[in-house]
Each structure stands twice: as structure tokens, then as C-alpha cells.
Structure 1
Amino acid sequence: MHIVPDNILLHLYTRFLLNIPKELKEDCEKNFVRTFFEVERAHWFYVDYCIEDPSVGGVDMFGLTQQLFAKFPSIVPKGTNWQEKFVEWKKYRGSTATGSMIIIDEHYKMILLVQGFYGNRWSLPGGKINQNESLVDCAAREVMEETGLDLANRISPSIYIDRHVGGTLRRAFIIEGLPRTSRLKPGTKNEIEAITWFRIANLPIHTHDIAPIETLNSKPSNFYLVIPFMRQLKLYIEQRLSGKHAGLALSESERLCRYSLNCSIHQHPAVNNLSYARVNATITPSKKPKRNKKSIGSKSPNQSLSEDGKVGEKSRIWANLNVPTNAESGRCGHHNYHISNCVAHIRWYLFVPTFVSKRRNSFFCH
């Protein structure tokens, strides 16, 4: 285990555990589990400001707790098994609600996702709620920390999608119309490695969705924190593009989302309207659509992106887009549905600012 230098331990102890307000100290004495919230704040500070070489890494929350309590045993009351209390705190912390944002670009085609510094999974910018903090304030604070975007004034408290993942409430507020030219830079160190605009059409709606494998060369499991929101989000955007205001679009997308769960993913026409899949077929619930084996695993023009090496420069992208037509219609249940798309091959240019840490030498636009 990595050993934290004594001077850093002393600084963390003095800053976060010794000189805390009197009422907070009394609260910690009555309920020792409360102490771990202060240790967590110390660990965040340690990760942000005390790790000189992120590639080497440091200690996790448990490791820092262990070293702090060994160095300053007076923190732990006599007769208290701090490891049992730590497990109790972890269970409580794991059930803490999270606030995040679904940030949609001005063309309703992309959303902003972030990737943690020590993993390859993508998620919505956001995080866990602090004590006595509202979910709105939590989402605004976390997005500011992770992306550098101050969107507090753009949050509509009633426009959000709720999901329960592992018994934990995850609330994502919907923010529309953010220009892709917005400057992206995290406000904390060693937490966010990359901030990237992803095409909504390319993101999976379930764990067995092959869309990210074919278009992003990435496993659906890398988006498991995003998947619970994607089905309703695609329906919401469809409603917004049809002219409905946000509140009505949200309620209608929720209704359609519940309805679609009773149908096969391949049979419900509303679920994948934004997937830009090449479809020109008549499908019945009793007949499965034929899959073109040659198309699976084959590369398409929109899978490649020329690297400029510089953030903010024009990047040439080859896109294979399907333009939805008014001929699209669909029914679910025991009825047939027909989908017809007009396929257009377009060579286009985008100005997409993307943050990438020093550890990564390329930037992305998915």
C-alpha cells in the first residue's frame, strides 16, 4: 500500500478533522460514522492537490483512513471499532442520492459525458449529494467541478429523469441547447480524465446493445451509468423536435418509455427513431428481422476521426447519417409497423471543443 507522507497526513488532519466547527465535532462524537464524511473531504483534497504523479496513484479512501487513524489515534473514541463503522458508513454512502445533468447540444444530437481518471467508464457529469444540499444544488456543483460549466441558472427543477440504480436515486436534470463550442475544463485535479460529446444515436439503451461496439469500438458496459436514462432521453428528444414544450415532452416520453418496456426493443419504433439505423422493412412481432451478417463488425465512415492533436481546431469527420422522413410511422403490439429512412452520405465539418487530460494524447468526438 502507498504510504502517505507524514506532512500530508498532518495537513489533512489539521484542516479537516482537528479544526472543524464545534457543533460538527459534537455531532461526530455522538455518531462516529459522521466522522467519515470529514475523512472523505480530506481524501478528495488529497486526490486533487497532494498526488504529484497521477500515473503512480495514491491511496483510496480506506487506505487514507487507516493511515490517518494510525497517526492520530485520538480521532477514534475508545472501544470503537472504526473498521465496522467504516463499513456502516459505506453502506449509507452507497445509498446516497446523486444529482447530475443531461447536457444536450444545440442540435439535439449530442450529449456531454465524462470519464473518470482511474477507469474507462463514461457517465453523466454529476455526483453524490452532500449533507443539507438539494439535488439541484448538487447537480450544479458537481457539473461545475467536473466540466467547468456554470449551469446553475439553466436548471429547471421540474425537468429531470429519475432512475433507481442499486436502490440509489439518480436524478438527471435536462439542460438543452448548450453550444458545442463551450469551453470544457474540470475544476478539480485527478478526477476527470476526459469530457466528450457523444452522439445520442450511438449510445446504448440496454446492456446487450451492439451500437457502441459497431460505432464507438466500446463495450456497452462502459456506459452502464448512462444506459438507464437513454431510452426515455431519446423519446424526450423526439417529442421536443416535434414541437412540444419541455414539460409535455417529458411526461409523454415517460409514458412511451413505460409502454415500450412491454414490447421488444426491436419491435418498438419509437425507441430507436434517433438511432440512424438503416431500416427499410416491414416487421411483425411473430417474425424477427433478418440480420445482415456482412454488416456486423464492418466499419462505416462515421467510425473514424482524423486527429488534429489540438483541442478546438476543426476536425474532419465522415458521417453516415439517415435523415428521418415524414413517412416514418409505427405501431406496437399485434400490429405491423413500417419505418422508412432516407439515407444521405454527407461530408461535414464540426467545431467540437473537447477536454482531454495530459495522460491522453488524442481527443474524441463520438
Structure 2
Amino acid sequence: MEISGKEHCLPVEILDDLSSRFIINVPEEERKDIVRLCFQVELAHWFYLDFYCTTDPKTCKPCGMKEFCTHIFQHIPTLNPHVKDLDSVLAQWREYKLNVPTYGAILLNKDLSQVLLVQSYWAKASWGFPKGKINEDEDPSHCAIREVLEETGFDISSLMDKNEYIESTVNEQLIRLYIIAGVPKDTVFQPRTRNEIKKVEWFPVADLPSNKKDMTPKVKMGVGPNSFFMVVPFMKRLKRWISDKQQKSSDSSRRRNKSMSDTEPTANKSKKQQQQLFAMALQNEVMESQANRQHKVPNNSPTQRNGRRQDNSKSHAKNGLRRQLFNGDEDKKDKGRQQNQTQRNLSNANINDFRAPSWMNFKFNRSAILQCIE
């Protein structure tokens, strides 16, 4: 069979199988609309490429949509009359396809620096976002989830925000891409459709072109901007979206840090005030103690408001009075011995043994106290 100047032949048994799977059993009203029937022929074409061409490459050679349609139309008797108008039918079908919205997703890694792109099996030199045409009565978000799952093997349903998307009209076709952020960079992507997606790779957002003349990918990756012609219509808004998200995150971080820094001076100030008051109190105690020692006032002096020590002083006074009544000379001697003992106690006092009156009998280390005052 001669088609478009090239000889190509599909085995009859394969044509029978494809026709019965996708075309013959279609409802009659659908088969009467030749343009809409081309969608079924397209499904048969994909099935042929995915299964027959991979399992038996010697017998089944890949071919384009027009060539495949010619074989199908010639093989099915009810479609034979349309072979002569095939070019017109395919033109109407392509125009109709442009009016069917396409939905997909822009997958970003956790820090929003990398974006996931897919490479078509047939358009080997071009990269794009995973996407596909919506089915009848299908929700746009469900279409995006389904297409991304088919082309990458990754389920975006748990990460999707239906209000976060970029929408553009390309070649009279509406394309909406939901923005999916936080995809792990080490995710293993495995397309579920064979011979449709050849590669799935991460690309730096900063290296992708924002317009057709942007040569950044050529300089950074050695790939011209034409390879990203389906990416260009979305890049300016995507970069703006990423910039806004990063700015909001930075502002939020600054507000948290400012809130923390505002509370720190108050806490530090209160702590310093407490330390100053404590140091002043200790300093007063030390000065009072030094003054008492200079005047040789013993620690058991009644001037110190210690009830137990005052009682001891009274006891000594009674003993002294009794001795004075019965033996004046002994009293004088005892008084002299008592004064000498007091002086020896003061002179032999350990410099680190400091008892603050305000803390009763609690013992403090004088050197540590002086360091705290400084």
C-alpha cells in the first residue's frame, strides 16, 4: 500500500483488533460524526504505538496520525467513503481539539527552585508540563490529577490547591496548570503510558526561558528556547508566583524573629534589675559587717536582732553580775579574759566566713559574693 510516498502496511489481524476495540462498537450516532470519531481513531493509534510497535517492532512500524487514519478508514467499510476527504476531516478534528480545554500541573520541589518537565515520545526535542485533554463531564482538577498520574506516575491529589493555578490560551486552546509545590526531589517518576512520555526530569526554574528570545537555557544547558516553546507561556507568571511565595515566607520569618527580639530586652531588663537589687543588698550587708568588725562588735552582740544570741548575752550578763556580787577581783579578771577572747576570735576569723544578718545563720562565700557584686 502506498501512502504519502512511503510504503507502509499494517497486518489485517491488527487492524481487525484495533477496529473492534475502539471503533466498531461505538454507538451509531457517534460513528456518524466523522470528526468526533477521530478521537476514537486517536485512541486506537496510541494503543497501536504502545503495544504492537513495542512487542513486535519488526512487523509493526510507528506511523503518524494521518497515515494510521488512512489504514483504518480503508479497512472499515462504513468509513471507506471518507478516505478521499481525509485531509479535511483531520483539519476539522484538529480545530475541534483546540476547543477542548487541557489541564495539567506544574510540579515544584520543596524550595521552589526546580520544576518538573516531561518530554514527548514523538516530539523528542521539546519539553513541557504534564497535561492532557479533559474528558466529557470531568472535573478540571480531576483531569489534572489523572493526566499527571498517567505521564509521571506521581499522585498530586494530596498536594493540590484548586485555587492555585496558571491559565493561558495557547493556539486557541485553553490550558490550565495547577501549581503543586513541595514535591520531594528524590521522587522516582514512572510514566504509566508507554511510548507517549520518553523522559521526566527536573529543571532549574531560573534556567528556563521567559520568552522566545531568552537564550538562558542555551547558555546554561546547551538547549535552545525552542525546546521549551510549550513552557514559555507560563514562565513569567510562574516566576512571579514563586517570588511572591518566597517574599511572604521571608516576611513571616522576620515577624517571628522581631516578636522574639521584642520580648528578649524586657526579660533581660527585668533580670538585670533583679541582679542589681540583689547586688545592692549584698553590698549593704558587707559594708555593715565591715563596720561592725572595725568597731569590734562581736557577732553575738545584742544589736544584731537575733533572739538566740540575745539570750546568750543575757546569760553571760547574769553570770557576770553574780560574780561581781561575790568576787569583784574575779569579775575583773573574767571581763578581761572575755575581751581578749573576743579580740582573738575577730582576728582569727576566716575571711571567707561571712554571715549576713538578714539571712540569719545562712553561710555565704565572701569571694563569690564580691564577684557577683562586680
- Equivalent residue, structure 2, for 1:6: 12
Alpha-carbon distance in structure 2 between the residues aligned to 1:155 and 1:77: 47
Comparing both structures, which one devotes a greater share of its residues to helix? 2
- Separation of aligned partners in 2, 1:79 and 1:237: 50
**Cα offset for 1:64?**
1.2
What is the total number of aligned residue pairs between the two structures? 241
Q: Match for residue 283 of structure 2? A: none
Q: CA deviation at 1:104?
A: 0.4
Classify the secondary structure of the residue corresponding to 1:196: strand
Cross-structure match for 2:28: 25
State the partner residue of 1:39: 41
Percent of aligned pairs with the same amino acid: 34
| Counterpart among 191, 211, 215 of residue 186 in structure 1 | 191
SS of match in other structure, 1:174: strand
- TM-score, structure 1 as length reference: 0.62
Tell me how far 1:45 sits from its aligned partner: 1.0
Over aligned residues, Cα RMSD in angstroms?
2.3
Residue 161 to residue 57, structure 1, CA distance change in 2 (3 Å): farther
1:116 alignment partner, one of 113, 120, 132: 120
Counterparts of 1:1-366 in structure 2, within 5 Å, are: 1=6, 2-20=8-26, 24-29=27-32, 31-52=33-54, 57-75=61-79, 81-118=85-122, 119-243=124-248
Displacement, 1:79?
Answer: 11
SS in structure 1 at match of 2:154: coil
Q: Distance in 1 between matches of 2:61 and 2:196?
A: 12
**Structure 1 residues not aligned, in runs of 5+:** 246-366
CA distance in 1, matches of 2:242, 2:61: 40
AA paired with 2:31?
A: C
Shift of 1:150: 1.4
Unaligned runs of 5+ in 2: 1-5, 251-374
Mapped partners of 1:78, 1:68: distance in 2:
11
TM-score, normalization by structure 2: 0.60
For residues 147 and 161 of structure 1, what CA distance do their matches in structure 2 show?
Answer: 20
Measured in 2, the distance between the counterparts of 1:198 and 1:231 equals 16
Alpha-carbon distance in 2 for matches of 1:45, 1:6: 16
Please say which structure displays the higher CA radius of gyration: 2
1:75 to partner: Cα distance: 3.5
Q: Distance in 2 between matches of 1:243 and 1:158?
A: 17
Residues 237, 102 of structure 1: CA spacing in aligned structure 2 closer, same or farther, 3 A cutoff?
A: same
Asked if the contact 1:54–1:190 (Cα under 8 Å) also holds between the matched residues in 2, the reply is: no
* Counterpart residue type for residue 40 of structure 2: E
8 Å Cα contact 2:70-2:83 kept in structure 1: no
In structure 2, C-alpha distance between the alignment counterparts of 1:205 and 1:234, rounded to whole Å: 9
- DSSP-derived class of the 1:48 partner: helix
The one-letter amino acid of 1:122's match is: W
Letter in 1 for 2:30: D
CA change 1:135–1:57 in 2 (3 A) is: farther
SS at match of 1:102: strand
For residue 76 of structure 1, report the CA deviation from its aligned partner.
5.2
Structure 1 residues 84 and 197 mapped into 2: Cα distance closer, same or farther (>3 Å)?
Answer: same
